[in-house]
Amino acid sequence: MIHSLRQFGRAMNISAILVRYRLDELLQEAQVFRPMLVTRLFSFFPRKKVANMPRGERLRLALQEMGPVYVKFGQILSTRRDLVPPDVADELALLQDRVPPFSGEQAREIIENALGGSVEELFNTFEVEPLASASIAQVHAATLPNGDDVVVKVVRPDIEPQLRRDIDLLKYLAGLVERYWDGSRRVRPLEIVREFETFVFDELDMQREAANASMLRRNFENSEELYIPAVYWPYCKDRVLVLERIKGLPVNDIEALREAGVDLPALARRGIKVFYTQVFRDNLFHADMHPGNIMVDVSDPANASFIALDFGIVASLTPKDLHYIAENFLALFRRDYFQVARLHVDAGWVPPETRLDELEAAVRSVGEPNFTRPLNEISFGKLLMKLFQVARRFNLQIQPQLIMLQKTLLNIEGLGRQLHPDLDIWAVAKPELEAIMAEKYGIDQTARRMAQRMPGWIGKAPEMPGLVHDFLRQATSGQLRTRLESADLEAIRKTQQTTERQRWKRFSGGVVLLSGALLAGLQAGPWQLAGWSVSGLLLMLAGGFMLWRARP
């Protein structure tokens, strides 16, 4: 619930923005707020002249007017192409996370409180004017006492209460959507908001971001393909991050890259290789690789490399998901649709009772139309997105990390095609993935992993006969118990509780209504009005309201 007048006022302000951009019409079409009068109350507000704008553009403009938190929420929502219509996702991807900077003096104060010294003592130089400003933090240029050029990232002051206020409001609105919109089970709005909450609050922790950057840098140490700035750990705290300052050209400035003599086709192929290396070799990938976070080192134009920035969103997969997604990729490369279907079942992404022939046919309906196109036009990211959408008919449950993987793949493919429109992504990706898998799951690597685990297995060996004996004894005596831990069982339990509550409410409402009818009919009670018992009428109204609230 909304606990304060301030939040209530914020909710009313957001409702007015939705109406001004005619987004209330979308809510009415979806029957989201059927019992509410919000849209009618605001129908008297002046509406912007947006009647001819597409719905996605109207939503993007509305989110920009709502403020930074909603801009970031729209950015995260744009990655959920398995849930959001393509036209809306494309527009939300255009949202720019740019907000006015806070004062340099406030930044100085935050830095001094975090690092325990004055800015003059900590840095040789410190630029009060920020280089960039976003909703979570802003960046200042500085020079360390040893002469190293660095950037200082400072979290906005008092940002947590603002984030908490708006995220709580988003949760409240998502709860209303889940309650009143029949299509909410497919979209799962509360799950999306919770996912957004995790990402946003993770981005507040500069120590976490520093650790992400440090690990990525270690993975690509001495690499000629990707450079990660160095972390200056003595200067990193929860709200302050200091990184090496790297200069390069923006990756989307194609003309500047051409003028510098960069081999654009080679750079595009290098970007695809970097993605597959991060995901399948290291299982740690930069999950926010839009053009604003990537630069190009052109000091050697013939061997230009990428520079990654902003490590607030870095993701990894579980070993099981990583193995199955890699096998899925290889099966799709080979057009082995039955293998794709079987892998979905083996991974537990779809229920075990799923008919493989039906799932195979659904996968084939996605794959074959794409393979009829020229290879340089095929997008593996879009193919993966369509595969997820089709598999939802079979109760596919995708983890957020897999969605971030798909979103990152779309970003990398879009970047590669921007650098080199004729890029054959499949020709680059297939041998790269096959080489990584051969090395990672080959005989030598498997033997190495077994050797590492052998001491642990040997240490547990004396316990095994006793465990086997206890298991067999319990099984033969009927004492063996199975413990079930499942989200499905929890959902069933909640559904049963909800049903019981509704039954109790209907019973209570019926009793109150009947009592009121008896009082009214008998003209009993302390007050009478035109021969009717006022108390009886009030009880009848209360009972009727209780029955209405207890409806399914």
Angle CA(74)–CA(213)–CA(210) in degrees, nearest 5?
85
- Radius of gyration for the chain, computed over Cα atoms and rounded to the nearest angstrom: 29
Catalytic residue (choose from 166, 288, 310, 321): 288
CA 245 and chain centroid, separation: 29
CA 542 and chain centroid, separation: 44
Hey, how many other C-beta atoms are within 10 angstroms of the C-beta on 520?
20
Q: Report strand pairing: 305-308 vs 226-227.
A: parallel
Rounded distance between C-alpha atoms, residue 264 and residue 304, angstroms: 9
End-to-end CA gap in the chain:
21
In contact, 62 and 77? CB cutoff 8 Å: no
Residues contacting residue 381 through CB under 8 Å, at least 6 positions apart:
406, 407, 409, 410, 412, 413
The per-residue b/e assignment along 24-62, b for 16 or more CB within 10 angstroms, e otherwise, is beebeebebbeeeebbeebeeeeeeebeebebbbbbbbb
The per-residue b/e assignment along 325-338, b for 16 or more CB within 10 angstroms, e otherwise, is bbbbbbbbeeebbe
Among 156, 146, 149, 152, which residue's Cα sits nearest to residue 119? Answer: 152
Rounded distance between C-alpha atoms, residue 541 and residue 544, angstroms: 5
Q: Please classify residue 122 by burial: count the beta carbons closer than 10 Å to its beta carbon, then call 0-12 exposed, 13-18 middle and 19+ buried.
A: buried
Q: Please classify residue 246 by burial: count the beta carbons closer than 10 Å to its beta carbon, then call 0-12 exposed, 13-18 middle and 19+ buried.
A: middle
Q: Give me the sign of the Cα torsion angle 350, 202, 11, 75.
A: negative
Concerning whether 422 is annotated as a catalytic residue, the answer is no
Rounded distance between C-alpha atoms, residue 74 and residue 69, angstroms: 9
| Helices 400-419 and 264-276: angle between axes, nearest 10 degrees | 170
What type of residue is 533? Answer: S
Q: Which residues are catalytic?
A: 288
